[in-house]
Chains A and B, each alone.
Chain A
């Protein structure tokens, strides 16, 4: 079997992960939207109090992880569709992954130092 080292993983996992992370983000988006209608963005103080709430911090943590995993699957699919040489592709995959892991750490420390 001719399998590419930077090919798809020939399984259901990424497909499923993309759905689950998408649902997590959609639900959190609706929660933030509802909070916005409730005045959570009426002032900086209200916004900061909202984001410092324990439950919201828990959910925004899940949102950040979901976003980074979702972006990894999506951006990797773009590279797989348009970049043919395995050497270039693997570099792009690694750069994408490193960027997303860094973003996750950055975003998480923003919510956790509140």
Chain B
């Protein structure tokens, strides 16, 4: 019963919580999903004006997507989508018992973070007009 006397690690303060990489990948799955949900009206509206074949629609789409603030929001949403996508594939693989072992699960979590950030960089530079 000696263990019972040990102060339990009650790290309920967010800044004190230390998670394994898979834990961060997991909470970011939730954060990215919530962000995408909250920004759905913007995304649907952009989709709408991207398909508006009138001159006005074309000008509006160009003006909105040319705005730097909109670009930054879209950059964030791009990351959110890519992270959610990659993490979703990881979840589906674990569902069919691929990569369940601790080491593999750690590696796949690192891969999710790395791949989604790399793709965000590649598409993001395009979004920002770097190429």
Q: Does B44 contact A (CB under 8 A)?
A: yes
CB-CB under 8 A from B40, the residues of chain A are 71, 99, 103
In the assembled complex, the CB of A53 is this many whole angstroms from the nearest CB of chain B, namely 12
Majority DSSP secondary structure for residues of B touching A: helix
Asked, given contacts A19-B92, A22-B88, A26-B89, whether A110 binds B34 with beta carbons under 8 Å apart, the answer is no
Q: Count of chain A residues with Cβ under 8 Å from any Cβ of B?
A: 20
- Give CA–CA (A71, B30) in the complex, Å: 11
In the assembled complex, the CB of B127 is this many whole angstroms from the nearest CB of chain A, namely 12
Asked, given contacts A48-B51, A110-B44, A110-B48, whether A74 binds B37 with beta carbons under 8 Å apart, the answer is yes
User: Contact string, A79-114, partner B, CB cutoff 8 A, digits 1/0?
Assistant: 000000000000000000001000100110011001
Interface of A with B (CB < 8 Å)?
Answer: 19, 22-23, 26, 29, 44, 47-48, 51, 71, 74-75, 78, 99, 103, 106-107, 110-111, 114
Known: A19-B92, A71-B36, A103-B41. 8 other contacts (CB 8 A): A22-B91, A26-B85, A44-B50, A44-B61, A71-B33, A71-B37, A74-B37, A106-B44
| Nearest 9 CB-CB pairings of A with B | A110-B48, A74-B33, A22-B88, A71-B37, A107-B44, A75-B37, A103-B40, A48-B51, A106-B44
Interface of B with A (CB < 8 Å)?
Answer: 30, 33-34, 36-37, 40-41, 44, 47-48, 50-51, 53, 58, 61, 85, 88-89, 91-92, 95
Residue pairs across A and B with Cβ atoms less than 8 A apart, 30 shown, are: A19-B92, A19-B95, A22-B88, A22-B92, A23-B92, A26-B88, A29-B85, A44-B50, A44-B53, A44-B58, A44-B61, A47-B50, A47-B51, A48-B51, A48-B53, A71-B36, A71-B40, A74-B33, A74-B34, A74-B37, A75-B34, A75-B37, A103-B44, A107-B44, A107-B47, A110-B44, A110-B47, A110-B48, A110-B51, A114-B51
